[in-house]
Amino acid sequence: MLQRFILLLIFFTVKAYPQEWKTYPYQPSGSVLNFPKDEGFHFDESIEWLYINGHVTGKNTGNEYSFLLAYFYTPAFGFDGFRIFNLANENSKQFYDESMPCIYESIAEDSLNIIATVGYISTHTEEWITLADSSGKMIPFQYHISAESQTGSIDINCNAIKRPLIIADSGFLYQGNKDYTYYYSQTIIDISGILSFNSTEDTISGTGWIDHQYGSFNPNSGEEYEWFCIQLDNGMDLNIWNIFTEDNKIPVKPNYRIGSVYVNDSSSFTTYDFNIERLRYEYTWDSVRCYSQKWNLLMDTFDIDLLISVRNSESEVELPFRFFAGSTVIKGTVNGLEVEGKGFAELLHSYEKPDFSIIHPDVNSIWEEYESIEWKLINPDEGNPVLYNIEISYDRGNTYLNIAQAISDTSYYWNPSYFTEDTVISLLLTAFSVDSTLIETSEVALKYNPRSNDYMLCTGDSISLFISLGNKNELEYRWQKDGAGIPGATDSLYTLSYAETADNGSYRCIIGNGLFTDTTISFDLIVNTGFETDTYRSICKNDSIYIGGKWQNSEGTYYDSLNSVFGCDSVVVTSLTVEMCNLDMDESFADKFKVFPSPASESIFIEFNNYFSGSVEIINCYGKIIRTEFVKNCTKAVIDLSELINGMYLLRLRNDKYQESVKILIIN
């Protein structure tokens, strides 16, 4: 008691803070909470806990220590609740946790005063009480705490330096799917006293954080979460929650993303508009659970960008349920200015290896060249955005080549049809976390339908033949034309800059890397040329014919540009003569005929000015008659064009008595 009195005297002599809020009673503006009443326990709520963590330094040893102490009120099995007490030497990375049932010999409802008997058979007494002056009057927001475990103890005095941070601004909020909680934090606590660690006693000083919650949200049976308290050297403090749904999502809603920020003694706010990116994961010693261990916190308000890292990955509490609870270090920026800090992380959410299945191709299907590789992630977790690597083997699994790395989609297009059908191809898909701690693979042998690649060009065109494979720099390429090697063609891309008819042929590529050699299927190339063809036409005087893009009625040479059936530019040269026609000729045929429609598609409709008997001919651009229809005494006729390909044709009518008549016919 004398030692405790001396510590208390020093504590009050050194610390004197004239804050206006540091008085009882105290009710923050807009809050449902009252102090000291709501520092006491609320027995009408289903669960309540009082929590403190601390970062302290030993005066005698220079060691840095962290601790966590929490008292839960949740009666069961003849006990009033349980106590969790963690001690860690951050220098030696030693961590000890102890959870014990307790009976509260004294637990006040109007203030913070707890006397607890802790343990099963062998018990001891611990306390967390509000300090009082010599007259017995409580000193606002100052406490004494004593607790002990098998590996150490604390006997400390605590003094709140900042006003309470009222979570959600009112102190009442909904958490998760259906629960609620009353909640406040005391973000900066001056700590001084004695700490014992493995029988070594040390005088300590440092900083702590107090949380007090009560309501229906139960860490033991509710939804899993990750919680962070952050104390920055610019004076700001943050209380951050990410709560997971049953299907491992973190909705952007105020009951799942909770961020309360102490800015200064007159300003604080609560928001759900922030994001936490997980950068590292680590398994527990028995590989049963995996916790995130490094995070990037981003918040638009104040342009907060913080990197948070745990100090000791072996900081897991095993009872009454398994969760991580350990100290953190923080670096980053606020409003563009560099900051540092410290804090604690409480992690109830455990991550799993990716569980996925390859949907296509599978062992029973044939992979067509136009189809994608597809897979499904069976256990998605928003806290672990999975990435994928895709590898292909051509040598029965001896070596693999990357064709895609660190993609986030669950489908990928890759063309397997470069290879001949007897090539053995295996697909290896790897799913992994951002740091590859959580990783799983799956492999499937491929059956595919290779198809030749046929290309048609016109002279002067260019073309690139391309083999799209991963790890292209690790492969050797040797292009061939008609079985003979092409000098200098040793890349995955082979280009013809100005194609000529001499380039017609079958191209393929020999691919290898010293461990295997394979041959692609052929790329068959046909180079076409345009043509020039002559035709001779005759009309009667005063008649006209459509040539060269307009109606002509005088003798001369006319040119029509057109595309051949191969798409190459060509020219039709028409020599036109004008003659005096026999007056005995059927003058009604002088207007010849009309064609509807033009351009045409499946068929055309021909209308004669008088009865006509003779042939209707369709002539291609080479001058070859490719279709002939015979009509007799008709004024109308329908000609089927469905078997003709797109292009420009000549439509000619003639018989023994009359001269020929020609029109241009375009088919689309």
Is residue 456 assigned to a domain? no
Rounded distance, CA 329 to CA 118, Å?
32
The per-residue pLDDT for 261 is: 98
CA distance 43 to 23: 25
Q: What is the Cα–Cα distance from 58 to 204, expressed in whole angstroms? A: 5
Question: Does this model's pTM top 0.95?
Answer: no
Residue 614 CA to chain centroid, in angstroms?
A: 71
CATH number at residue 520: 2.60.40.10
314 and 402 within one domain: no
d(CA 552, CA 204): 110
| One domain for residues 373 and 413 | yes
Q: Are 276 and 421 contained in the same domain? A: no
Residue 663 in domain: yes
Q: What is the pLDDT of residue 1?
A: 38
pLDDT at 624: 76
pLDDT at site 591: 57
Residue that is last in its domain, among 414, 445, 476: 445
Distances (CA, A) of 549 to 531, 541, 559: 19, 20, 9
Question: Does residue 505 share a domain with residue 387?
Answer: no
Which pair of structure tokens corresponds to residue 188?
């900066």
The pLDDT assigned to 564 comes to 53
**What 3-state DSSP class applies to 104?**
strand
CA distance 388 to 405: 6
CA–centroid distance for 481 within its chain: 43
Per run of 10 residues, the mean pLDDT along the chain (length 668 residues) is 36 45 95 98 96 97 97 94 97 96 96 97 96 96 98 98 97 96 98 97 98 94 93 98 96 96 95 97 96 98 98 94 96 98 98 94 70 91 96 78 88 70 79 97 79 78 76 76 93 90 90 73 82 75 73 83 62 82 45 75 78 81 78 79 81 70 71
CB-based burial, 96-134: b 16+ in 10 Å, e otherwise: bbbbbbbbbeebbeebbbbebbbbeeeeeebbbbbbeee
Contact call for residues 32 and 171 (beta carbons, < 8 A): yes
Contact present, 636 and 608 (Cβ < 8 Å): yes
CATH number at residue 100: 2.40.370.10
Partnered with residue 119 across adjacent β-strands are: none
Are 39 and 187 part of one and the same domain?
yes
Examine residue 28 and state whether it is found in any structural domain, yes or no.
no
Domain match, 335 and 362 both:
no
Single-letter amino acid, residue 633: N
Exposure letters 535-564 (e unless 16+ CB within 10 A, then b): bebbbbeebebebbeeebeeeeebebeeeb
Is 554 in the same domain as 638? yes
Q: What is the pLDDT of residue 516?
A: 65
Q: Which domain holds residue 637?
A: 532-667
Q: Are residues 482 and 558 in the same domain?
A: no
> Are both 487 and 536 inside the same structural domain?
no
Rounded to 5 degrees, φ, ψ at 302 are 65, 10
In a domain, 455, yes or no: no
- What 3-state class would DSSP assign to 161? coil
Q: Are residues 388 and 405 in the same domain?
A: yes
Residue 109 lies in a domain: yes
Q: Are residues 84 and 48 in the same domain?
A: yes
Could you tell me if 524 and 536 lie in one domain? Answer: no
Domain-terminating residue out of 506, 528, 550? 528
Within 10 angstroms of residue 451's Cβ, the number of other Cβ atoms is: 13
β-pair partners for 172: 182
